[in-house]
Amino acid sequence: MITKKFCPKCGSEDIQMVAGGLIGSWMCKNCGFSGSIFPEKPIIVSEQQINKKLKKKK
């Protein structure tokens, strides 16, 4: 299953890692919320999208 992190405050998927490490720290580019706990939700990816990404990597 493929998942994507999202902001627990505003729901935006536009987030970035601001500090690494075992847990890491994330920040939402939309509302500015930051923390180490950003939930993940499953995303549906079609077989066509997967094949397209695999071809780009070669």
pLDDT tens for the 58 residues of the chain, in order:
788 999 999 999 999 999 877 778 999 999 999 999 899 998 877 777 677 767 776 6
* Tokens linked to 21: 């490490």
- pTM > 0.75: no
Distance of alpha carbon 5 from alpha carbon 29, whole angstroms? 13
Cα-based angle 21, 27, 30 (whole degrees, multiple of 5):
160
* Tokens linked to 25: 């720290």
